[in-house]
């Protein structure tokens, strides 16, 4: 739940890193030689007084720079590669928001739905101006309440209009969100949603889509889905099957779990039931699509999640890039600096 980390290093020839043991060995040899010189100076003080006596810092700095340069060049020999995090090409984000009755629960103060709406508005405000945002309401059925737009005020107004309803069809919400992200694919939403789990046509459509020619999960860089839910689904297509379809298109589904594992008791229409956060489905949906799961147990955490998610969406993982030249240049620069300092201070290379 943090901004992308610094690029991670890997090596094509990692065995060459054993050569780094030469660096401390040479450093020890230089220390022994310097110590012997000082002993000679103590034994023959008349000779010591004939030459220039540099400070300890001037004696140590050039060889240290030279050793660091050697270390950098050894790393270069191992052919380092960096996993770079570059600005993304994101164009569309779909906010799929769980509006089922369980979102009235108050284990997240003042209520799950209020906290979700406030955090969602913060998320919308953090998106770059060139990113279009859509809103999909997920209850017993799912519907697009705001098509993709760059007008932030329209998106915020759509979020504020959302009200809890009966039922939760997470699978339906994901399929409709997917069709919103990929209008060019002309996804047959009706076929996916027909009859939910009760009729074979929906299950057959999901199975056929999952077996179609697939993209690499998470490879679609132009759009993403953010699902906010307590994870409990009781109608519509299977959420994990819908996630598999999204993965086939390369679309990432970031999931945000709202609520607490122990949950709370919710009373409605004379009925009482315990509603709690079901993380298992949300984690699997994110994992299947190559995305990430976030969890928030209070309103403050939820807002922090959306800040982190905004940063996560702002960057796009790319293939590793070999950075041998950078380490080579660093090694040469350090060695040259060592030589120049020696010539300046001592009139020769130490």
**67-103 pLDDT tens trace:** 999 999 999 999 998 876 665 667 889 999 998 888 8
DSSP letter at 13? S
Provide the percentage of residues in the chain whose pLDDT is more than 90.
Answer: 25
**In 10 A of CB 2, how many CB atoms?**
9
- Residues 70 and 206 placed together within one structural domain of the fold: no
| C-alpha separations of 281 from 154, 165, 167, 238 in Å | 31, 21, 17, 10
- How far apart are the C-alpha atoms of 294 and 226, rounded to whole Å? 10
The first and second tokens of residue 241, run together, are 């099957």
157-203 tens-digit pLDDT: 999 999 888 888 899 999 999 999 998 888 878 877 775 443 445 55
Q: What is the pLDDT at residue 208?
A: 55
Q: Pick the residue with more confidence: 97 or 41?
A: 97
> Could you tell me where the DSSP H helices lie in the chain?
22-43, 45-48, 56-77, 112-126, 152-161, 170-181, 189-193, 200-211, 239-248, 279-288, 299-313, 324-346
- Residues 128 and 78 placed together within one structural domain of the fold: no
- How far apart are the C-alpha atoms of 116 and 103, rounded to whole Å? 9
Q: Please say whether the beta carbons of 174 and 225 come within 8 A.
A: yes
- Residues 122 and 51 placed together within one structural domain of the fold: no
Q: Which range marks the domain in which residue 244 is found?
A: 89-313
- The CA-based angle 153-158-164, given to 5 degrees, is 150
- Residues 110 and 230 placed together within one structural domain of the fold: yes
Q: What is the mean pLDDT of residues 216-235?
A: 83
96-129 tens-digit pLDDT: 999 888 888 888 888 888 888 988 898 888 888 8
Q: What is the pLDDT at residue 198?
A: 39
- Residues 150 and 236 placed together within one structural domain of the fold: yes
Q: What is the pLDDT at residue 123?
A: 86
- How far apart are the C-alpha atoms of 199 and 234, rounded to whole Å? 15
Q: Is 2 a member of any domain?
A: no
- The CATH number linked to 307 is 3.40.50.410
Total domains, the chain: 2
Q: Is 3 a member of any domain?
A: no
Q: Is 295 a member of any domain?
A: yes
């Amino acid at each position: 739940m943090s901004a992308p980390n610094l690029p991670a290093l890997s090596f094509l020839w990692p065995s060459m890193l054993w050569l780094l043991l030469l660096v401390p060995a040479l450093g020890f040899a230089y220390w022994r030689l310097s110590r012997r010189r000082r002993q000679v100076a103590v034994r023959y003080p008349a000779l010591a007084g004939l030459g220039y006596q540099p400070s300890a810092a001037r004696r140590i700095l050039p060889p240290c720079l030279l050793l660091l340069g050697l270390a950098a060049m050894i790393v270069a020999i191992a052919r380092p590669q960096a996993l770079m995090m570059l600005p993304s090409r994101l164009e569309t984000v779909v906010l799929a928001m769980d509006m089922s009755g369980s979102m009235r629960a108050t284990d997240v103060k003042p209520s799950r739905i209020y906290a979700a709406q406030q955090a969602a508005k913060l998320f919308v405000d953090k998106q770059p101006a060139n990113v279009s945002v859509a809103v999909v309401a997920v209850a017993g059925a799912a519907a697009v309440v705001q098509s993709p737009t760059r007008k932030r005020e329209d998106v915020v107004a759509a979020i504020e209009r959302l009200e809890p309803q009966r039922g939760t069809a997470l699978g339906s919400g994901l399929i409709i969100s997917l069709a919103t992200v990929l209008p060019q694919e002309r996804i047959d939403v009706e076929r996916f949603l027909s009859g939910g789990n009760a009729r074979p046509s929906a299950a057959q459509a999901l199975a056929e889509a999952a077996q179609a020619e697939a993209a690499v999960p998470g490879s679609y860089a132009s759009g993403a889905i953010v699902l906010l839910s307590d994870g409990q689904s009781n109608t519509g297509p299977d959420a994990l099957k819908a996630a598999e379809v999204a993965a086939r298109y390369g679309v990432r589904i970031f999931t945000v779990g709202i609520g607490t594992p122990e949950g709370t008791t919710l009373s409605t229409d004379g009925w009482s039931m315990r509603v709690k956060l079901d993380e298992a489905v949300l984690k699997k949906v994110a994992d299947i699509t190559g995305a990430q799961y976030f969890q928030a147990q209070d309103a403050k955490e939820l807002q922090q999640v959306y800040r982190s998610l905004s940063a996560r969406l702002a960057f796009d993982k790319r293939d590793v890039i070999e950075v041998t030249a950078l380490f080579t240049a660093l090694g040469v620069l350090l060695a040259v600096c060592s030589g120049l300092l020696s010539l300046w201070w001592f009139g020769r290379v130490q």
